Every structure is written in C-alpha cells, then in structure tokens.
Structure 1
Amino acid sequence: MRLTHAAIRPSAEAVGITFEGRPIPALPGETLAAALTAAGEFVFRYTQSGAPRGLHCGMGACYDCLVTIDGRANQRACLAKVTPGMVVQRAAPAEPAPLAAAPEGQAARLTCDVLVLGAGPAGLSAAIAAAEAGCQVIALDERDAPGGQYLKPLAPSHAHAAPDRQFRQGAALRARALAAGVTFHFGATVWGGFAPEDIGALVGGRALRFQPRRLVIALGAHERPVPIPGWTLPGVMTTGCLQTLARANRVSPGRVVIAGNGPLNLQLACELVEGGVQVAAVLEAAPNPGFAGLRQALRLAAAAPDLAWDGARYLAVLRRAGVPVIWGARPLAAEGPGRFAALRAATPRGEIRLEAEALALNLGFQPETGLARALGCAHQFRDFGLGRLETVTDAEGRTSLPGVFAIGDGAQVGGARIALARGRLAGLAAARDLRPGVAEDAATRRALHRAIGFQDALWRFFAVPEFDAATLADTTLVCRCEEVTAGTLRAAQAAGAGSLGAVKKATRAGMGRCQGRMCGATVARLVGAAEEAGWAAPRAPLKPVPAIALAMEKPEWLEGPAVQPAPILPTHHTPATGPAEACDVLVVGGGALGLSTALYSAREGLSVILAERGEPGQGATTGNAGSLHIQLHAYDSAGAEAGPESAAAQVLSIGPQSVALWREIATEAGETLGIRTEGGIMLAETPALLERLVAKVAMERAFGVDSRVLGANELMSVAPYLAPGFAGAAFCAPEGQMDPLRGLSALYALVRRAGVSVRSGTTIAAVAKEGAGFRAETAAGGVIRAGQVVNACGPWAGEFAAMLGAPIPVRAAVQQVMVTEAAGGEVMRHLVLHGSRHLSAKQGDAGHLVLGGAWPGVLDAAGRPRNLRESIEGNLFVAGTVLPALAGLQVIRAWTGLNVQVPGPILGADPRVQGLHHAVTFNGWTLGPVCGRLVAEGVRGGKGPGKPFSSARFRLS
C-alpha cells in the first residue's frame, strides 16, 4: 500500500515496469523494492533450496532482495531505482547481461587531503569540518544521496511541503557540505582497503583508486540479526528497512507488527500510523520501566529535551490510535505459508499470536567494521546483547593506524548525535594534521558529553536483552545466505571444529554474499567466540562487485614471490613437567598431508599422535581452490625440462592414484565430496604455445596419464563456453575438482575414527634424538616420546627439519583464490587452466565459479596472509579473457593461503637422521592422500616413496 500524508505528494506520474511479465505501476525515483511492495509483491526470489525470499534489511547489507533487472542478475532491489520500462525477474537468466563496462586500462587514481567513507551523520559532519578548515575532501556513499539511515532524504519520487526536523537537518547538512566544497561520489562501493592510502572503490561501475592523506571511516551500522524460526520469510524485515520504505518511499506492506528493542520501533510505529497503516502492536523486549524508569526519563529530558519529547509524542500517538505497546515481550517465531502471516511472542501475561502482513524486527545494531579490520585497526569485543566488535579509537576518532579515523555507528554504536559530534571532532583533527593551527571546538566536545549522557540514560530505559544461544532451536536458520541452521553449527563443533574459522569452513556459514553481516555475531555466540581473534576475518571484496569492473591486465611471472612466514618455534616455552607420553609415530602438522600420513600409519597398526599448533586443516588445506591437478603446469616447466626422472615429472605417476584415494575417502564418508573428474583443459593462445603443450602431453602419456591435444575446432566442440580464438589445448581426462571443505571434514573424521590422537593447539617447541627414537617438548610443557617423527609442517617444514640438523629446501608463498556468486545455470564442467598465464577455473556444485592460478598475496605485519589488489585485478582479467560468462557475475570473496614452494615433493626417510620422515609437497591437496600413504608405508618399514622424492637428492648439510 502507499502511505497518505497531507504534505507529501508524488512528484511525477507513474511509469510502467514489469515483474515476472506482469505490468506494475511505479514512481520514477523510488526504489524497485518500494514499487514491488506497493504492488503486493513480497517474494523477490527463491534460494537454491527453493525457499522464498524478499526484502529484509533495506540497505543493501543482507543481499536477500536480489532480482534480475533488464538481464543483469542479482541486483539489490532495495538500492535499484525505478526507470521507465524496467523488466524485472526473480531468477537469473542462463546468460546474464554484463554488469559493467570493461575497464580501459588501469584504475584511475584520485588523491585528496581527506577521504570520508560514508555520508551519514558522522561522515557528513567530518567532511564539513575538514572542508571548512581548508582541506580537499572527497566523500563516498553507496546510496544515491547523503544522509545515511538517520538523515535519509525523501525519495525523488515524492515532494514534501512541510518536512519534519529530521528531513530539515539532513537537507541543511547536505547544503553545508556542498557549500564547503566537499566532492561527493554516490553509488560508490568500497570493495577493498589494502593500505590507508590505497582504497579501492567502484563508482558508477568504474574502478577507482583513492589515495588520501587522511582516511575517515564512517560506514555506519546494520541492524543485528534476530534469528527466530521464520525470520527469512518474505514480509519479515528489519525496522530500519520498513522505515526506509515508509519514510523515504511512502510505502508499507499493509498491517504491521513491530518487535524488538529501542525507540526506533516506537518511531516507526508512529510514522506508520500517521501514514494510514494499521499497526497490530509494538512488542518491546525491555521490561516496563514504570516508576523505576522515572529517573532515567528525567535524565533523558535534561540531556536532550527535544528527543525526550519525541519519545513521549510517539507513545501518545500510539495510545490514541489504540496500538498496544507490550513491554517485556520477546518474539518467538514468524509463521506463514510462503510469506509472513503471524508472529508468536512471549509476554509477561503468556504467549500471544498476532496476525499481520509484515513483521519489523530490531534488537540493536552491529557496526560495519569490515574495512577497519581489513586495514588492521585494533578492535575490541563488547559483551552485551548479541555482542559486537567495535573499533578502538581515541576521543577524536583516531584508530591504532596513523592517519586513519573511525567514527559514528560504524565504529561504536551511539546514535546520531554522538555521530555528529564525533564526526566533527575527527574532521577537525584530520585537518589539523595537515594544516596546523586549526582551532579546537570546545562546544562540540560539550555536545558530545551531553549526547553520551543521553544515550546512557536511553539504554538504561530500554535495557538491552541478553542473547542466549542455547535458546536457538536446531532447526532455526542462522546464516541466511548459505541456509545453515543452528543444528548444523552445533554438529560441526561436536565433530571437532573448535574455532569460529573451523566451524565456518565446515558449514559455509558466513561465506555468502553478505559475508557474515547477518550471521557472524550469532555464529560467534554459538561457537563461544568472545574475542576479536574469534570473529571471521573480512575479505576483499568487502561487498560483492562485478568481476568485469575489476578485470585489469597485470604482468605475469614464472614463479611467485617467496615469503618468510612467522617462525614455528615459540620465543619461549614452559619447561617440561610430568610424565612423557609415548607413541610409535609423531606427525607434526595437521594439513591434508599430515592427516593422510597419520591415517594410513594408524591403519598399519601404529600408535600415532598428530600435533598441530592450530586446528587441523585450517591453513592451505581448506584455503585452496579444490582443483584435482594431474597434468604438468606449463608455466612451471621444471618437470618437462628436467626430464622423466625428475621429482616433478614422477608426480605424474602418483597423481591419478591420489584422486582414486580421494574417491575411497568419499565412499567411506558416505558422500561424494563434490568430486568431479570430467577433464582438465590447458589452453594455448598461439600455435607456438600449442607446440609446447604437445611435448608436455607426450611426457604425460609416457607416465600413463590419459592426456591428448585438442585442435581449435575440437576445443570449441568440447568446451563451447570458452572465449574464441585459442589455438588449441591439452586435455587431461582424469583431472577435475572437489570441495576442500567437505574433503577436510571427511578426512579428519576418518583420522579420528582410526584412533589417531589429534592434539590441536600443540606447538612442538623442541625435538631431538633420544636413543633410537625422539623426544619432543611442547610449548605448554608436555613431553612426547616417539619412535619415529614425520615432518608435515608445510611452509615451516624447513624450519622444523633444521631443528634436527636435516635442512631441506622449502619456501613459502601466499597464493590467492576467488569465488563468484552462483551462476544462473551451468557455465562449465571442466577444470580450465591457461598454458601461458596464471589461471585455474572451475564451477562448483552450487553454481559458483572458483578462480585461482597462484596469484600472490602478502603477509601483513602480524604474519597473516592478505590479498593484493593487483592480484585480484590481474586474476580477473585472465579469467575474463577465457570465460565470457564472467562478465555477468559478481565476485563475492577472495582469500589467501600460505602454500609450499619446493622443487618437487620431499617424501620419506631422511638418510641423515634415522627415524625422521618428510611429508612435504606442492599441490598438497591433490597429492595429500597418496603422499601420506607412501610416507606411512616407509614409516612401517616398507618401500616408501622412493628415490625420486628423497631429500637425499639435495646436497644439503
């Protein structure tokens, strides 16, 4: 329905759009979500499982309102503005239209004194202060106008003859910012922060690099999730979403029930009533303040009499309209067959059921800290309500990073008045850094003090309810994007996933388009994470972005740069105490290769302890792209050039065996693990490169690998999805892919079932020969005596081997993987590689494309792998030249892992130290099972891996 108001009128005649072929009247300038809601359309799309979804957050954070607009798939209806003749569909087309224009050259660089990210109250205030102090200021915002959620203007579809105080305040700030010379870029998505002076953004679909002298982060907050049964039903939305519909677009779904906590719910109810909407009830989670709340009410009135008066007016309007305000009420479940129909709630007088067409939920806010965390700013966990991370700042908004400020609700939730004051102080401080002599503002500091007092009293009046994860039923969806339930999360913990990161990888919770915004805090509570380290790390891109918009050609290389990871040895460890444990085999390192070695050793009847300083499989094992590589890489030509006796070439003889072992593991696990071996294609751009592939294929066939050469015509027949123009390809029939997350879970379960004693969080601080065996000391003071030791330390294998006087040539490299959103249909079935450029590409079972190819990342100051902007752009460029379908997809996540660089596998007994065995290789995911089995064979006294893989081939002391 469309709201009525004596002073608000449509500013233009309705235009025609279509939704699923049905004509719908819409107003130019309103959001598509508003037009659909006004027309009674609540189901915007269906998930992969077939569940209906609609509008939820209303601000582009949850990615639930995705539709196809004029052939462009997965567009957010809450942000898209109506244009005449717009054609809207629920499902993505089989061949989506390009989402942006391909870049011409590299991203343009824009410099400025102060870059402000976000144009809500905090960002506007900071931009105005810095600009009025003489700084060149650029401000970015994802919406089409400044103001944020609190000061959002009326949509261009309407005109207001008598705007209220909030509208007037927003208009005044916007005018002041423009008068001060602030340059605004709207429709801007900040997709990556790689340094304070290197901020990547898309503005109108065009990639730009911003290089400011000072950075002010004011990205606001989103409403915290309220995971109750049925909260994903169309018609269930956040209070802020429904307020945006009503206040900015003059639309409401119909009869509404509002539940949660805080004054925003009362404001929304009042605005809906005044617009002609029937409000069934307002359910407030805080207890009725009664006379005990009088003291806080007086504090509110003293600190901000206008806001206190607003609150009193809201209650009076609702009382006159007969809308019940029920204190101490808690939503239990949203009900409805396909869309919301009723709310069940617990109240002090018992359970009630309220029928309505829409449910608005608000139980507080979560700061948007992703960019600040990606940059490395310090954060702290606030343990109340659901709990949240907040950016650590001083009184002027300075973070732990020089030159970076974080302000407003995106740093610490405090409301609009605190945001305005902190924004001005930060803007002045940033200007003072660049132009000494900028005056202090004592009046703003006093205003900030009053605003803090008001907020303190407000949240004592509306006491924040505690979140009890135990009350979540197992069947309740927690992760909306990946459709993960609370029961699935609990099962992952029961199966051995001990940290938030491990639970995330085991369940895919937080891996969807919203990147955990709608579930991260809830998952953290379920897992028991209460510190910053336990929360999911932000990934670039920080929000989904069109892949084609970032596709920019970068130089290729023969070998990626090596990095020096943080030492495996602790700086100190607790002296050994207590009795020693004993085992036949101590496996140090819990990646795919270490787990496989432990599994096959235990199956040989040996007692095995596996020591992993983190959690098993949480490094490169689950950070890889999931390719099952068998053929030689053309850009890594060491194998072909060294001849058939080289270790790199000898891998050809064991690769197919390892894939077969993965299939055995899948059978034992009772599922497929996403294993598909429909062939790997290595492309040649020119006839000369095709000749190189001919020689490569000849060597592979000599080792029994089913490889052949495809000419240009045959290639297009086998893989019509490829871009035209390739001279041909090598085709390796047994290559393919699998899901490394599911593979790790299955392998880990078999290891535990085999009786291996897995010691997570166990660092081997010292190891030495002791008689015929070894004595190992852990950092925690434990002692393990083992007959034999297996070095499966991956990138740290060289450091561990040196502890025993048996160095091996192992280096580390940070490598990148990316994933797109799911395509509308099948794009490709093969594993696709490039013969002269760095690329691996495949389509997973869920429809998403996985892009790798050994593009490098870096280690940050804390030794953690991080993405490089150049690698994301270069990887997408190469992928785009191979897969035209990529132009219609968005990249939703890029990540990095620390991988091994070795001149061929180093496997088996070390002749220098009796009882020491190495289990180190590149391509560790594919080769993990077979290499583990070969090493285990040598451990029990069998033939083992053989001479080509022995450390004896290196002349090392």
Structure 2
Amino acid sequence: MRLRSPDTHSTAQAVSIAFDGRPISALPGESVGAALSAAGILALRRTVSGAERGLHCGMGACFDCLVTIDGRANQRACMVAVADGMVVESAAPAHPAPLAEAPGAEDVTSCDVLVVGSGVAGLAAAAAAARAGARTILLDEREKPGGQYAKPLGAAHEQARPDAQHRLGDALRAEAIAAGVTMLADAQVWGAFAVDDMAALVGGRAARFNAKRLVLATGAHEAPVPIPGWTLPGVMTVGGMQSLARAQRVSPATRVVIAGNGPLNLQLAAELVAGGVEVAAVVETAAKPGLRHAAAVLAMAASAPDLLWDGAQSLRRLRGVPIIYGATLLGCEADAAGHFAALRIATATGEQRVEAGACALNHGFAPDTALARALGCAQRLRDGRLETVADADGRTSDPAIFAVGDGASFGGARVALESGRAAGLAAARDLGFTAPEDARNTRALHRAEKFQRALWRLYAAPPLAAPADTTILCRCEEVTAGTLRAAMAEGAQSLPALKRATRAGMGRCQGRFCAESIGRLCGAEAEADFSAPRAPLRPVPIAVLAREHPEWGGAPIVAAPPAIAWRGTPSANPPTDCDVLVIGGGVAGLSTALYLARDGHDVAVLDRAQPGVAASTANAGTLHVQLLSYDIGDPAVARGGEGPAASALPLAPESIALWEAIARDAGEPLGLKRSGGLMLAETAEEQAWLVQKAAIEARHGIRTDFIGANELRDLAPDLGPHFIAAAFCEAEGMIDPLRATLALARLARAAGARIHANTSVIAIARDGGGFTVTTEAGTLRCGRIVNAAGPWAGQVAALSGHPIPVRGSVQQVLATEAAPPMLRHAVAHAGRHLSLKQGSGGHVLIGGGWPGTHDAQGATRNTRGGIEGNLWVAQRVLPALAGLHLVRAWTAMNIHLDGAPLLGETPGLPGFFNAVTFNGYTLAPIVGRMTADAMAGRAAIPERFSLARFA
C-alpha cells in the first residue's frame, strides 16, 4: 500500500512497468521493490530449492530480492529505479542479456581524500576535509547521499514539513556541496587493493581511485534474526521496511507486526501508523523500562534531551498499539500461499500469535567492516560482532585509513556525525592542510557516546535463542543450523572449515547475514575467523571488469608463509605415538592416510590448520589429463621438448579411476563426471602447438582428438566464434573439491586414521629406527613419516635436515552466479592461462593459474590485474559470461614444483617419505596409493618422480 499523509504528496505522473506479464503502476524514481510492494506483490523470485523470497534488508546487502529486468539477470529490486515500460520477471532468463558495456580506457582518478559511504558519517567527513582544502571525493552506491538515517524523500514526493532526519540530510548534502566535495552516486566499490588502488563501478563503468587518505563510512546492516520462517516473503528487516516508508512512502502490507530489540522498532511503528498502516503489535525482547532504568534515562536526558523527547513522542503516537515487552521470538508462520501470516512469540503470560500481512525484525546492528578487513585494518570482537579498531580521530591500524560511524562501531547517527567530522579534519591535517581540532566536535561526540551507552542499557535484551536444526542460517545457500551442527560433529572446527563443509557464507551476501549466527553456533570468538573479504566485495558484472592484461610467464614463486590467517580450536585429543605420521591434511595427505590405514597401519594425520581448507578446497576442481600450455613452454614457440609434466601424464587416468572408486565408497557422486576436456586454439601457431602436444601425449598413452572449427561449434556452440581448432581429451572431467575432500576425510577416519587439526610440527629428530616429532600439542614417536604438506612441504623437509625443492605460488579461482547450462566440458586455452567449467549448480568456475599475493600473516589475496585478466580470457572463450555477475574470487597457496610429483623415501633418511604433487587434486589418490605401495614394499617409486631427478 502507499502511505497517506497530509504533509507529503506525490508530484509525479505514474509510469507503467510489468511484472511477470502483469501491468504495475509505479512512480518515477522509486525502486522496483517499492513499486511491487505498493501493488501488494511480496514474492519476487524462487530459490534453487523452490522457496519464494522477497524484499528483506531493503539496502542491497542481502540479495534476496533478485529479479530479471529487461533481460538482465539478478538485479536487486531494492536498488534499481523503475523506468516507464520496464519489464520485470521473477525467473532468470535462458539467455541473460549483457549486464554492461565492455570497459573502455582505464579511468583513474586521483584525490587527497576518498570517502566511501555517504551516510551521516561520510557526508560529515567529506565536508570537513574539503573545507580544509583537500580534494575530496565521496562515493556511494545509492542514487542520493544520506545513507539509512538521513535518506532523502523519493523524487516523486514533496514534503511540506520535513522531520529532523530529513532536515539533517538536507543540511549535510548542502554542506558537502558548498565545501566543494565531488559526490559520485551509483558508485560501488568492488575491490579494495590499497589506499591508492580502490576499484569501483561508477554509473555502471569501471573506475579506479588513487587517494592519499581513505575514510571508510560504510555504515551498518541489521544483524540476522534467524528464527523459523524468517526467509518468508513479507518478512523484512526493520531498516528495510523503514526505507520503504521514509523514502518511497510505501508499506508492504496494510497490517504489520514489528519485533525484536531497540528504539528503531518504535520509530518505524510510529511512522507507519502516521501513514495509515495498522500496526498489530510492537514486540520487544527487552524488559519493560522501570525504576531500575532511572539512571539510564537521566543520562539520556542529560546528554541528548531532544532524542529522549522524540522517543516519548513515538510512544505517544502509538497509543492503542500493543507494545509487548520481555518477549521471545519463536517463529514466523506462512499462509496457504507460502507468505508471512503470523508471528509466534512467548511472553510471561504464555504463547501468542500475532497475525499480520508483513513482519519487520530487528535485533541490533552489525558494522559493515568488509572494506576495512579487505585492507588489513585491525579488528576486535565486541558483543560477538566485529568492529574496526580506530582511535578518537577514526584512524585505524593503517595510518592512511580512517573508519568512522556505524561501519566501524555501531553508535548511532550522532556518534557517526561527530566521528565523521573528526576523521575528515584529521585526514586533512595529515596532508598539511590547516584543520585545527574542533573542541565543540569533541564535546558533542562524548555526549553522543554517553547517550548511546545509556540507550542500550535501557534496551538491554537477552541474546537470541539457539536456532532449531531446521532453521535456515545462511539465506543465500539455504544452509540450516542442523547442517552446520552435523559438519561440526564431523570435525569442522572453524568458520572457514564450516564454509567449505556446507557452503554457508559462500553466497552473494558473503556472510553479511549469516556470519554472526554461525559464529554464535560454533563459539563467538570464531567470528573473527570468518574469511577476510575478497574482491569482489559484492557481485559485480563480469563484462565491466574483463580487461586484457599481458600473459605472465609463470606464477611468482614464494616461500609459503609460516603463519596462517585462520585457525580453529586445537584438537581435543593430542596426537599420540603411531606407526606412520602423515604431515598435511590436504587431499594428498588424506589419500595417503586412507590407503595406509586400509593396509592395516596405525596412522595419524597432523594439519597445522583445518584439514582440507587450503588448496584442496580452494581449487576449481578440474580433473586434468592433457598437458597445459605452460607445461611444455610458450605455445607460440613450439619447442617440441618433453619434461616432467609429460612424464606424469599416465598417472592422471589412473588417479581419476581412483577418485571414482572413492565416490563409490563414499556413497555419493562427489560432483565427479568425465565430461571431456577441450583445449582451444585461435591462431595458426596455437593450432600447430596442439598438434605437437597431441603427439607428446600419444607417446605417453593419452588420447587427444584434434577437431576443427565446425566440429567444435557442434560440440560446444556457446564458445566464442574465433576458435579455429581444439584438442579434445575424453578422459578429462571435473569434481566438487568441497564434497570430495570431506568424503576423503570421512573414509580415512572410517579406515582408522586419526586426524588432528591445528597441530603444527615444530621439530623432527631421528630416534633410533624411527622419529621423535615435536608439535604444538606435545611430542610423539612414530616409525615413519609422510611429508604431504603441499606448499609447506619444503619447510617440513627442512625440519628433518633434508630440504627438498618445493615452494609455493598463490593462485586464484573466480566463481560466477548460477547460470543456465552453457558449458559441458572442461575448457582450457592453448595460448592463455585459463581453466573453465560449469558446475552442477550452474556456477561457472574460472581459473588457470592467474597469480595472487599473500601478506605476512599468511593470508592470500587477489590482485586487481589477476581478476581482470582472468575474466577477459574467460569472456573471450565464453561470451555469455557478459550476462553474469562475478560473485566470489578466492586465492590459495599452491605447490610450485617442476610439473611432476615428488614421491618416495628421502635418500639418507630412511623412513621419511615425500608425497607432493603440482597437479594436486587430480593426482592426489594416485600419489597416496603409490606412497602406500612403496611403504609396503609392493612397488618402487619410479626415479622420474623421486628426488633423484633433482640431483
């Protein structure tokens, strides 16, 4: 419904849009979500499971309201403004239209101060810095500055008497304009690589910003309220419903219920009542204020009497509306159509059921720290939520970066206002501009902080109850609490391990609406371990990022960092003496442990973090059989030689057969399929190289068929039209590395192997015929050791006094959103770095060895050029990617070796075996099998795979 008010009226003529063929009247400038809500349409799409979803957060953070607009898939209904004649559909198109134009010349803008986020804090910071003389740019994803608190009224409306929040927004916007701030709307920062390398989309086009000082004013989003039914259409956050009411003058229903914790609930209720909406009840989880809260009320009155008066006025306007204090939220019920129908609560007098057409939930706020974390700024946990550590001026652990307002630490609008001003002045002073400290600003900040502390004493509420097993915690991937608990029972002890085991947090919102809930489930301190955000920080159109970068000659070789960024709880049972100790819990180590345990050996596996959470589950899952372009040199200079990679060719088919046996033993397919692999050529030189490659492969028993352009079109019609030939290897395929690694760990445990997480090896000493191994958890003795530590195998070998030539390289993988079937085969390129495949869920995985980097703490990171270049090659091969968003990008430390496995006993150190391979995922089972056979004396390791080849 549209809200009614004598002070506010529409000034624009309605336009017409269509939703699933139904004509809808809309107002110019309002969001698609608002127009549909006004028409009573709450269900906007269906998830993979078939569940309906609608508007939820209302601010573009949760990605629940995705629709197809004019053929462009997965557009956020809450962020896109309507246009006359717009066609909106709930289903994704079979052939998505391109989402953007190809990038033009690189757009790089320099400034003194870059402010990200134009809420109250961002506007204040930008105005203060610009007034001091700093060249200041302000970026915000929305059409108009103001953020959630000071958002302006929609363009189609006029207001005779703006309220205090609208007046504040008007004043801050005018102040920034007068100070000379360059304000850029529709500006989404997708990658934060450094202060002087901030990547964004501005008006749908790629742009880079080079700043001397960076102010992050990213605001907060509402914390998740995971109760049964919270994903139903018609259940929104309080902030989302308030955005509809304040900016768009719309309510999703004529009767609503508002529930949770905090004063924002009362404010929304008062605003809806004033607009003609029936508020069925305001349900508050905190206790009803009484005499015990007198000190808090007095502190509020002393520090901000006007705000206390505003609260009292909200209560006055709600006379007749039931306000239920001290309640527990039990769940949301659906009607026959599957939409919200009622909220169930428990009170002191018993259980109640509040019927309404829509529900707004709020139980606090979570600072949006993604940009700060991506840039490496120090974080801290407070009340189970991450905050960015900043001083009184907002300066973070990086002296060039400031974090202010609710995006650093939730403190409300007045704290945001004053902290923003302080940061803007401090940033300007850093750069030599005259910007004296403002004593009035400092006093106002202290008053605002005092008010906020008292306010939350007044609204102190118990934590949310532990969710039932059937309750969805991760909205994007539809992962339930029960699924997460089962993964924990199987050994996933950290948030990264839970992500890989369940896909929780891997969706479009990147954990914004589940990280806190999952952190509570597995221990609040683990919240800090939720993976540091990677570019893209939010889904971004591939078409606008795909930019050609020169091919590189090889991944930068590094010593694998000694530390690691995420750890879990140390194993409850410290490792004890064993026959064989396997160091490294990736797929090579787990495979070795499986076969050794099946041979009857007493096997223990140690991993310095969580087993399988490094390269084993961070790769793209291609089962390679063919040689890759970088295996035998530059394809443009067909040298005709062979090397270690060619000698390892016969191992791949054997290993894939072992993977198939593992899938049978596990009782699940593991996403494994031998779909065949294509390697494409688009020049005569690349075509000649394919012929040479096929000859080398044939000499090693690998069949590859050479096919021409016409046959290629018939086999893979969605590939680009410029390829003149391809090599097809029927034996190649793909596997889901997440499921396969977990299955391998389960089978190893079932065979008797003991797997210990978070147990680093500190020292290895010869002890008679065996070894004494010192770990973080104590000392143990073993008869033999298998070094399967992947990129860290060189460091483990060095502990034994017998180093090996194994180092590391950081490589990346990119993942798109789900798309219609367009790619049956694994695809590589004869002249460029690329691996390309479409998984069973429809996501296209893009890899090929493009490099990343890592920091001193061991966290691996993407590079902007690596993302752009990888996407350019992928889109050239598969043009339909122009209609998709890049959803995630991740990096992992990979093994750098000469292309063949390094196996067998170390000369001069009997009982110490290495099990390391460059093509780790494909060859892991055969590496494990060969190692177990060698240790049992059944078969010797061929010299071409041993240390002897390096002599």
TM-score band, normalised by the shorter chain? Answer: over 0.9
Q: Which amino acid in structure 1 is aligned with residue 310 of structure 2?
A: D
Quick check: 1:786 aligned with 2:799? no
Q: How far does residue 582 in structure 1 lie from its aligned partner after superposition? A: 3.0
1:193 aligns with 2:197: no
Most deviating of 530-539 and 192-201: 530-539
- The SS at the match of 1:842 is strand
Asked if 1:121 is matched to 2:120, the reply is yes
What is the CA-CA distance between 1:529 and the residue it aligns to? 4.0
Whole-Å Cα distance in 1 between the matches of residues 381 and 672 of structure 2? 40
Shift of 1:702: 2.9
Give the alignment partner of residue 486 of structure 2, picking from 475, 485, 491.
491
| Matching residue of 2:811 | 815
- The answer for the alignment partner of 1:250 in structure 2 is 249
SS at match of 2:340: coil
Determine the structure 1 residue equivalent to 2:23: 23
The answer to whether residue 724 in structure 2 is matched with residue 749 in structure 1 is no
For 1:857 and 1:298, the matched residues in 2 are separated by 55
- Map of 1:785-934 to 2, 5 A cutoff? 785-823=781-819, 825-903=820-898, 904-934=900-930
d(CA) in 2 for partners of 1:119, 1:567: 40
Matching residue of 1:608 = 603
Q: Decide whether aligned partners of structure 1 residues 278 and 580 sit closer, same or farther in structure 2, where only a CA change above 3 A counts.
A: closer
Kept in 2: contact 1:563–1:858 (CA 8 A): no
Q: Structure 1 unaligned segments of length 5 or more: list them.
A: 571-577
What is residue 570 of structure 2 aligned with on the other side? none
Tell me what 1:597 maps to. 592
3-state SS, counterpart of residue 35 of structure 1: helix
User: Is this contact kept in 2: 1:520–1:536, CA < 8 A?
Assistant: no
What one-letter code is carried by the residue in structure 2 that aligns with 1:260? G
Structure-to-structure mapping, 1:20-419, within 5 angstroms: 20-105=20-105, 107-253=106-252, 254-319=254-319, 322-337=320-335, 338-383=338-383, 387-419=384-416
Looking at structure 2, the residues matched to 862 and 877 of structure 1 have their Cα atoms a distance apart, in angstroms, of 31
- Equivalent pairs, count: 938
Q: Residue type matched to 1:209 in 2?
A: R
Give, in angstroms, the shift of residue 488 of structure 1.
0.1
User: Per-residue CA shift, 1:224-281, capped at 9, x if unaligned?
Assistant: 0000000000000000111111111111122100001111100100010010000000
Change (3 A) 1:12 1:581: closer
1:509 maps to 504
Secondary structure of 2:833 counterpart? coil
Tell me if structure 2 keeps the 8 A contact 1:568–1:799: no
Counterpart residue number, 2:655: 658
Describe the SS at the equivalent of 1:660.
helix
Q: CA deviation at 1:369?
A: 0.2
CA distance 1:704–1:406, shift in 2 (3 Å): same
Given the alignment of the two structures, is residue 633 of structure 1 paired with residue 633 of structure 2, yes or no?
no
| 1:544 is the counterpart of 2:523 | no
CA separation in 2, counterparts of 1:579 and 1:829?
Answer: 46
Q: Secondary structure at the match of 2:97?
A: coil
Cα deviation, 1:529-554, whole Å, max 9, x if unaligned, reads 41564223212100000011111111
Larger deviation, residues 63-72 vs 648-657: 648-657
1:810 CA displacement: 1.2
Give the stretch that moved more between structures: 793-802 or 423-432: 793-802
Indicate the residue corresponding to 1:673 in structure 2. Answer: 670
Maintained 8 Å contact 1:632/1:639: no
Partners of 1:168 and 1:900 lie apart in 2 by 58
8 Å CA contact retained: 1:118, 1:139 = yes
2:568 aligned partner: none
Preserved CA contact (<8 Å) 2:68 2:88: yes
Please tell me the residue identity of whatever aligns with 1:170.
G
The amino acid of 1:115's aligned partner reads L
410-419 or 681-690, larger mean C-alpha shift:
681-690
8 Å Cα contact 2:134/2:433 also seen in 1: no
- Shift in CA distance, 529/899, structure 1 to aligned 2, threshold 3 Å: farther
Give a deviation string over 1:348-384, Cα, whole Å, max 9, x none. 211100110000001110000001001000010012x
1:645 CA displacement: 7.8
Query: What secondary structure does 2:259 align onto?
Result: strand
Partner of 1:9: 9
Note the C-alpha offset of 1:4: 0.5
> 8 Å contact 2:540–2:885 — kept in the other structure?
yes
Query: 726, 742, 759: which one pairs with 1:762?
Result: 759
Q: Which residue of 2 aligns with 1:428?
A: 425
Distance 1:362 1:659 in 2: 50
> How far does residue 165 in structure 1 lie from its aligned partner after superposition?
1.5
Give deviations 1:487-528, integer Å, cap 9, x for gaps: 000000001111111011100000000000010110111111
Moved more, 746-755 or 859-868: 859-868
Q: Pick from 722, 729, 733: which aligns with 1:725?
A: 722
* Superposed CA offset, 1:384-434 (max 9, x none): xxx210000000000000210000000000000000000000100011111
Q: Percent of pairs identical after alignment?
A: 59
Instruction: Indicate if the aligned counterparts of 2:560 and 2:807 stay in contact, CA closer than 8 A.
Output: no
RMSD: 1.7
Q: Which residue does 1:739 correspond to in 2?
A: 736
Distance in 2 (alpha carbons) for counterparts of 1:567 and 1:944: 33
* 1:644 to partner: Cα distance: 9.0
Please tell me the residue identity of whatever aligns with 2:208.
Answer: R
CA distance in 2, matches of 1:569, 1:20: 49
Q: Which moved more, 1:39-48 or 1:659-668?
A: 659-668
- Name the CA distance, whole Å, in 2 between partners of 1:835 and 1:239: 53
One-letter identity of the residue aligned with 1:722: L
After TM superposition, give the deviation of residue 688 of structure 1 in Å. Answer: 2.0
Q: What's the secondary structure of 1:530's corresponding residue?
A: helix
Counterpart of 1:724 in 2: which secondary structure?
coil
- Give the conservation status (yes or no) of the 8 Å contact 1:550–1:873: yes
Which secondary structure state, in structure 1, belongs to the residue aligned with residue 241 of structure 2? Answer: helix
Deviation digits for residues 177-200 of structure 1, max 9, x if unmatched?
101100011111111111122111
Deviations 1:457-514 (A, max 9, x none): 111111132234xx31000000000000000000000011111110111000000000
Counterpart-to-counterpart distance in 1, 2:887 and 2:419: 32
Counterpart-to-counterpart distance in 2, 1:117 and 1:53? 30
- What is the identity, as a one-letter code, of the residue corresponding to 1:348? A
Post-superposition offset of 1:567:
3.5
Q: Which amino acid aligns with 2:136?
A: V
Q: Quick check: 1:584–1:787 contact (8 Å CA) kept in 2?
A: yes
Pick closer, same or farther for the CA change 1:5–1:552 going to 2, 3 Å: same
> Partner of 2:620: helix, strand, or coil?
coil
C-alpha contact (below 8 Å) 2:112/2:134 kept by paired residues? yes
Q: Distance in 2 between matches of 1:457 and 1:801?
A: 58
Cα displacement (A) at 1:912: 2.7
What residue is the counterpart of 1:582 in the other structure?
Answer: 577
- Say if 1:936 and 1:944, in contact at 8 Å, map to a contact too: no
User: Partner letter of residue 433 of structure 1?
Assistant: D
**SS of the residue 1:689 aligns to:** helix
Which residue identity is paired with 1:369?
A: T
Select 1:519's aligned residue among 514, 517, 537: 514
Indicate if the aligned counterparts of 2:428 and 2:434 stay in contact, CA closer than 8 A.
Answer: no
- After superposing the two structures, state which structure 1 stretch, 690-699 or 120-129, moved more: 690-699
Match of 2:941 in 1: 945
Q: CA deviation at 1:295?
A: 2.9
Structure 2: distance between partners of 1:362 and 1:623: 35
Give distance in 2, aligned partners of 1:568 and 1:440.
Answer: 41
Deviation of residue 654 (structure 1)? 1.1
1:531 and 1:489 mapped to 2: Cα distance?
14
Aligned to 1:574: none
8 Å Cα contact 1:910/1:952 also seen in 2: no
Q: 2:650 aligns to what SS in structure 1?
A: helix
The answer to whether the 8 A contact 2:632-2:643 is kept is no
Deviation at 1:647, TM superposition (A): 3.2
